[in-house]
Structure 1
């Protein structure tokens, strides 16, 4: 009759050894866990290394008392680790969500400046007279962007239990939004410089006209 031990993958061995701890909820010496795992079908030569890998991953606790090392792992520990991982994922999503909202706000400010610059160049040398007339259009655009921000915020709330792929997609979206906000910020500053240097306006008045403050800056400078 064959007494060969069934071949197991490293992950299967980890599950068997973890199961021994969780089933008994007891504390073992290294010699005891080797004996139990061997009886459970794990190759004896690999048990010490597998057990150590579980310790390295914080799935098994260990303590040296006197000349012996003791090992234990309770089911509640694995549950707590999964809870902590979930909380960390939620935290990252919230941070990304705040970044997107801030980027959208800056993008709205930048687009208002761009609209003013473009609309101001359509007249027959009367750019200054036409700029105030674009205010209503700019405010309408701001309302649209504010609505978009609200929708994205609601969408983020639904993503709090999503998988890592959703987080990766969100990071890509944040990068694109930030790049767009940077381009529009360039446009706002170009418009500001044009009206100050070419039209002789006071910078403070220009800022008030285009709806920005002295704190207005590039997204990645905050």
Structure 2
């Protein structure tokens, strides 16, 4: 009557139920929807309490981590030997990063990749030989069984005259 589509009302109500702004219940064959202002306030209060509790737990974790860091730094006094070892470690890490970038630049000449490509080429060649052998065997079988010229079978299969057998 008023130009409101009932399906759009259902969609709006469903979105409000999904957002938790409206409650829904089915009683018998009827669906009832309701919303109380105090319920929204209680939900927000519950959410605020949960956030405050998680904030307190995170702050306590941060304090524990700070104390653990202080304890570990106190347990490892800064000696000249330790400082020298740390400097050697950082130098070795920088050298490793440099070598990794250099290895990445030589990626095409990487022995592992070259070996993988060799294996892939060998497998491809074996597959090509196998398929050409199968083709030759089937061609021979058809020519013997049906007494048809091989050129006619090649023409029917769409095989060009420049086909070469891989040896």
Q: TM-score, with normalisation over the residues of structure 2?
A: 0.43
Q: TM-score, with normalisation over the residues of structure 1?
A: 0.33
